Amino acid sequence: LADRVTLDRLNAMDAASYIAALGDIFEHGAWVAEAAFHRRPFPAVASLHAAMLEAVTNASADKQLSFIKAHPELGGKIARTGQLTEASKAEQGSLGLDRLSEEEFQRFEALNTAYREKFDFPFVICVRRHTRDSILNQFERRLKNTPDEERQTALREIGLITRLRLVSKVDGPGAPKTDGRLSTHVLDNVRGKPAAGVKLALFEIGKSARGLLLETITNQDGRTDSPLLSGAPLRIGTYELRFSGGSYFTAQGYEASDPPFLDEIPLRFSIAEAEGHYHVPLLMTPWSYSTYRGS
């Protein structure tokens, strides 16, 4: 984020520099930046974003439509051949949508085709807030919308996409909240203390899931030194935390059966709020455990 421009500088720029700086926040949408230019100065990053969104909302239905049409397909041929804007490339690349297996590519192609046939514009979604399974799930659901509902949905997603792009580009007060957080905490209910040194792994699970995301270990407070996920939107999808309970209990010298009743302890949950805080603790003994969404 070293190259971010400050809001103060933006507020002081002439139109040309300003549009150069913000012209690619909205996909092929320099006009959006331009439309918001005269409303400077912006006291907060959020109000700059609101002004840009308003420009889209206030545009004619035709202009909105051609604007939506300027977005690339997801996992489509353009992505494969690398002919995306820088921002779209990074977004689709973050989920590997530019390097799908043949089977996955066919599935995206089929959905893209069906979608374009029904709506005559590409499927737009804020990729950074979703797992691949969640995108495919949204794809199928949104195919059932009416064209009008779907145009509104596309604009809402563009709001989410551009909010993220703007925050990554502009440094200033009043930035909208765009990141989520996933954390855990392991408690040892045999001794009433944090369970330190527990190995754990986080998996994304599902048909098209990325699998293992990270492995770590609990510290003296039974937490991880940094959140499991943070600094970005959480991807809506299904996850599993797997805790090496058995080896912790053995290391503590707790009585256990052979094999131990509990060894690897899986907690499976889904994330629905990309900007939310998910705290998923584990309270455990060699013979019991519980979890809940905490805070």
How many Cα atoms within 13 Å fall on the side-chain side of residue 172? Answer: 21
Number of residues engaging a second copy in binding (CB under 8 A): 43
Site of tokens 């499927």 = 123
289 binds a second copy (CB under 8 A): yes
- Check if the beta carbon of residue 170 is closer than 8 Å to that of residue 52: no
Tokens of 275: 């900007």
Identity of the residue, 129 or 165, whose beta carbon is nearer to a second copy in the bound complex: 129
The nearest distance, CB 110 to a second copy, in angstroms, is: 23
Residue 172: count of CB within 10 angstroms of its CB? 20
Identity of the residue, 21 or 196, whose beta carbon is nearer to a second copy in the bound complex: 196
156 binds a second copy (CB under 8 A): no
Report the distance separating Cα 21 and Cα 10, nearest Å. 8
253 binds a second copy (CB under 8 A): no
The nearest distance, CB 167 to a second copy, in angstroms, is: 24
29 binds a second copy (CB under 8 A): no
266 binds a second copy (CB under 8 A): yes
Report the distance separating Cα 291 and Cα 277, nearest Å. 15
4 binds a second copy (CB under 8 A): no
Catalytic residues: 71
293 binds a second copy (CB under 8 A): yes
236 binds a second copy (CB under 8 A): yes
| Interface region with a second copy, contact rule CB under 8 A, candidates 77-85, 108-116, 161-169, 236-244 | 236-244
283 binds a second copy (CB under 8 A): yes
What is the three-class DSSP state of 190? coil
Among 75, 159, 180, 222, binds a second copy (CB under 8 A): 222
- Check if the beta carbon of residue 239 is closer than 8 Å to that of residue 224: no
182 to 221: interface string for a second copy, x by CB under 8 A: ---x-x-xxxxxx--------------------------x
**What phi-psi label fits residue 292: left (phi over 0), alpha (psi between -120 and 50 degrees) or beta?**
beta
Q: In which element (H, E) is residue 181 found?
A: strand 180-183
Residue 47: count of CB within 10 angstroms of its CB? 16
231 binds a second copy (CB under 8 A): no
106 closest CA partner among 83, 73, 75: 75
149 binds a second copy (CB under 8 A): no
Q: In which element (H, E) is residue 47 found?
A: helix 45-58
Specify the pairing of strand 180-183 against strand 170-171: unpaired
Among 109, 179, 263, 275, binds a second copy (CB under 8 A): 263
Site for a second copy, rule CB under 8 A: 134, 137, 185, 187, 189-194, 221-222, 236-238, 255, 257-266, 268-270, 272-273, 283, 285-295
